[in-house]
């Protein structure tokens, strides 16, 4: 789905909301932690560049991507302006990959329906480690940056129509 032409990492700086009013929570899966920590760094750096205060960024860890749903729900209870769910699911030899991908994407979609606080989906679902590396600071950018921009835009959107 993502291509060189719609890779949000090549963003237009004039179109990014001022982050200084916002609190953003990030929930991170510990599975494939090299990948999820690169995504998290991309997100945090982008939020700070946009003006979000360091002490308004909270990072919480959960064991795996499946737990991102519960983690994001609990993070919502702290009333941030947006939550970013960060994970990396890499296909193995069994169907586990499909079940986790389905559960996480549906779970986070459900939180967006049920709650007023937007949850951003920053979960890589790759066939192999190389694909994950390419999207977490490699040749396809860093999807953590894209997620941070989405969080700022949704926080801003929410503040305009509260």
> Annotated active-site positions, please?
96
Strand partners, 16: none
Q: Is 63 in the site for ligand DLZ (CB under 6 A)?
A: yes
String of b and e for 132-152 (b: at least 16 CB within 10 Å)?
Answer: bbbbbbeebbbbbbbbbbbbb
Our CB check for ligand DLZ shows the closer of 20 and 129 to be 129
Q: Give the residue closest to ligand DLZ by C-beta.
A: 64
End-to-end CA distance of the chain: 32
- Closest approach, Cβ 102 to ligand DLZ, in A, equals 12
Per-residue string for binding with ligand DLZ, 93-112, x by CB under 6 A? ---x---x------------
Q: How many CB atoms lie within 10 A of CB 22?
A: 24
**Please, are residues 34 and 67 in contact by the beta-carbon 8 Å criterion?**
no
Piece of 4-12, 58-66, 69-77, 139-147 that binds ligand DLZ (CB under 6 A): 58-66
Q: Which residues here bind ligand DLZ, judged by CB under 6 A?
A: 29, 31-32, 63-67, 87-90, 92, 96, 100
């Amino acid at each position: 789905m993502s291509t060189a032409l719609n890779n949000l990492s090549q963003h237009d700086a004039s179109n990014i909301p001022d982050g200084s009013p916002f609190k953003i929570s990030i929930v991170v899966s510990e599975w494939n932690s090299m990948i999820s920590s690169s995504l998290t760094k991309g997100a945090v750096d982008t939020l700070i560049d946009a003006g979000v205060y360091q002490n308004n960024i909270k990072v919480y860890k959960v064991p795996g991507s499946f737990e991102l749903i519960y983690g994001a729900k609990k993070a919502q209870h702290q009333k941030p302006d947006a939550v970013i769910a960060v994970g990396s699911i890499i296909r193995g030899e069994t169907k586990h990959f499909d079940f986790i991908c389905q559960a996480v994407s549906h779970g986070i979609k459900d939180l967006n329906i049920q709650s007023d606080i937007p949850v951003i989906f920053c979960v890589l679902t790759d066939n192999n480690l190389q694909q994950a590396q390419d999207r977490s600071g490699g040749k396809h950018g860093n999807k953590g940056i894209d997620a941070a921009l989405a969080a700022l835009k949704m926080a801003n959107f929410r503040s305009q129509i509260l």
